[in-house]
Structure 1
Amino acid sequence: MILQTSLPYDVLSPRPLPGIAPLGDDPWFLVDDAYAAQMAERARLMATRRDDVIATDSPDTENVTKMLETVLAHLPPGFARSGETVSCADGRRVTIDPTDPFGTLGHILQNDICLMEKRGDEHVLTGAVLCFPASWRLREKIGRPLTHIHIPVKSYTDDIARRVQRLFDGVRPGMPIWRFNALWYEDPALFQPRSATAPRPLTEVGKTPYLRSERQVLWRLPESDAVLFTIHTFMLARSDVPGSAGAA
């Protein structure tokens, strides 16, 4: 069981969908009290279930290079790059492998990272490291546009889909935007893949023991139509969620 004990935002005050706000001066990436444990789990998943957590669909080589360099240029405090090696917040040293960019980043950051490239009228998921899926499968979504990725999310209406695509089109280099979500879970496991044909079962708010929240940041790669969608997953016991029934 890997849990955080706090959140850096008020999770019980959601914004109207799609809930986007400017990130401003806040860091693109965070490090929290579960960093070491989450990174150990990420390493285990990439070693034993790589095909489930890393996938690509012919991403543009230049965009992938930009992704790797841009992320490494925005590492949070506690990290240091020296040549082709990154020293991490838990003391590990990770070698930067340009032939495995998603695997490299997956060993450095808590974040899952999705590369969305413009193909036609929509942004399409062309590459990702997704160790902590929240009730979806990377293999079902790779190579698919935004509208397909959000099936079977009932709240993702056609109007919301159009607004989200406009956000992807409008996000500017150096001006990231962010949102968060919040779902109550019975199971605190971080790796929870689920097929789109088997939707997540309904849970009754106030009775499930764990809150799962994702801090999602969107930022455009320089001189590109490609957007990075990064996901920092928090899992808290109900007693650690301020304002929730059962909180200490």
Structure 2
Amino acid sequence: MILQTRIPYDIHTPRPLPGVAPLGAEPWFIVDEVYALQMGERLRLLKDRRDDVIATDAPDPATVDKMMDVVLAQLPPEFSVSGRKVLCPDGRKVTIDRSDPFATLGQILQDDVCLMEKRGDEHVLTGAVLCFPASWRLCEKIGHPLTHIHVPVKSYTDDIARRVQRLFDGVRPGRPIWRFNALWYEDPSLHQPRSQSEPRPLTEMGQTPYLRSERQVLWRLPDNDAVLFTIHTYMVARASVPKIETPV
């Protein structure tokens, strides 16, 4: 089990869908207490299950290069970039391989990275490294627009879908936005792919052993319609989740 001991935001104050807020001065990427452990799991998945965790659908090469430039420029101070090498917080040195960009990012970041490019009227998932899916499969979503990606989320209505697309259209370079979710899980595994035809059984708050929360950031690439959707996964034991305070 790879568990954090805390989540750095209040999961008891969810926002109505789509639930976004400006990221402001907060860092895009975070290095938390289980960086080394999560990276060990990511490296295992990249080696043993690469086809499950990396997928592309003809992303624009210039956009992919811009993605790499932006992400590397936004690495937090725990990293050091020198030439084509990144020194990671756990002491590993990763070679920046622009011919294999998603695998490169998957070896550096705790975050999963999804590239959403504008095709027609919608943003489409054209590339991703997704090591820690929360009950969905990358192979079922790659090459599809936002409306398809969120099937079969019941709360994702047509109205919400239109609002989310407007959000992607409205994100501005240098003004990222973020949201979070909070889902109760029986299984603490980080890699939990699940087909949309076999949705995860619903669980009740406080009656299951683990809370899984994703810190999701939307970052618009400069001079481009593409948006990066990044996911930092927290998994904590129920005992580590702060209780809702009851007013006196």
Q: TM-score range by the shorter chain?
A: over 0.9
1:168 aligned counterpart, secondary structure: helix
Rounded Cα–Cα distance in structure 1 between residues aligned with 2:207 and 2:105: 36
Aligned pairs, number: 245
Letter aligned with residue 233 of structure 1: T
Contact 1:238–1:244 (8 Å) recurs in 2: no
Rounded Cα–Cα distance in structure 2 between residues aligned with 1:148 and 1:200: 18
Equivalent residues in 2 for 1:74-93, closer than 5 Å: 74-93=74-93
Rounded Cα–Cα distance in structure 2 between residues aligned with 1:7 and 1:204: 19
Rounded Cα–Cα distance in structure 2 between residues aligned with 1:221 and 1:140: 25
Following TM superposition, the consecutive aligned residue runs of length 4 or more in structure 1 with deviations greater than 3 angstroms are none
Deviations 1:129-182 (A, max 9, x none): 000000000000000000000000000001110110000000000110000000
Rounded Cα–Cα distance in structure 1 between residues aligned with 2:235 and 2:206: 16
Unaligned runs of 5+ residues in structure 2 are none
Partner of 1:51: 51
Rounded Cα–Cα distance in structure 2 between residues aligned with 1:216 and 1:33: 18
Equivalent residues in 2 for 1:102-113, closer than 5 Å: 102-113=102-113
Rounded Cα–Cα distance in structure 1 between residues aligned with 2:153 and 2:69: 33
Deviations 1:74-102 (A, max 9, x none): 00121010000000011111000010000
Partner of 1:150: 150
Rounded Cα–Cα distance in structure 2 between residues aligned with 1:199 and 1:244: 28
Query: Deviation at 1:61?
Result: 0.4
Query: Deviation at 1:244?
Result: 5.9
Partner of 1:210: 210
Q: TM-score, normalised by structure 2?
A: 0.98
Unaligned runs of 5+ residues in structure 1 are none
Letter aligned with residue 230 of structure 1: T
Partner of 1:201: 201
Q: What is the aligned-residue identity percentage?
A: 76
Equivalent residues in 2 for 1:5-154, closer than 5 Å: 5-154=5-154
Letter aligned with residue 19 of structure 1: G
Letter aligned with residue 134 of structure 2: A
Contact 1:210–1:238 (8 Å) recurs in 2: yes
Q: TM-score, normalised by structure 1?
A: 0.98
1:217 aligned counterpart, secondary structure: strand
Partner of 2:162: 162
Deviations 1:29-53 (A, max 9, x none): 0010110000000000000000000
Letter aligned with residue 92 of structure 1: R
Rounded Cα–Cα distance in structure 1 between residues aligned with 2:78 and 2:30: 10
Cα root mean square deviation, aligned = 0.9
